[in-house]
Amino acid sequence: MIIPEANVKNLMLREDVLAAVEQGKFAVYAVRSVDEGIELLTGVPAQEIHARVESRLSEFADKARAFALAGVKKPWQASAPKK
């Protein structure tokens, strides 16, 4: 379980959960930031995850722009007026 570090002082666990923690069957992780949680969950530094996300979003944006521009005809591509 991941909880904000600020909530540790208010954490109340049942006896069976405490026993599971002591036996290593359950864990409670307190994190100070989302980045700490990302690193805990993935095992990858948060900055690397952010860089991957930024790169992928940039790819999506480039594809969206290309798709939008594909439907726009240039003035020299306009069809001749119908007679």
Average pLDDT of the chain to the nearest whole number: 90
Q: Is the pLDDT of residue 76 over 70?
A: no
Within-domain flag for 31: yes
Q: Is the pLDDT of residue 72 over 90?
A: no
The number of distinct structural domains making up the chain is 1
In which band, very low, low, confident or very high, does the pLDDT at 29 lie, cut at 50, 70 and 90?
very high
Within-domain flag for 72: no
Lowest mean pLDDT among 7-21, 46-60, 69-83: 69-83
Q: Please identify which residue in the block is written with the tokens 């954490």.
A: 11
Q: Do residues 3 and 34 make contact, with C-beta atoms less than 8 angstroms apart? A: no
Range of the domain at 29: 2-61
Alpha helices (H) along 6-45: 15-22, 34-42
Q: Is the pLDDT of residue 77 over 70?
A: no
Within-domain flag for 25: yes
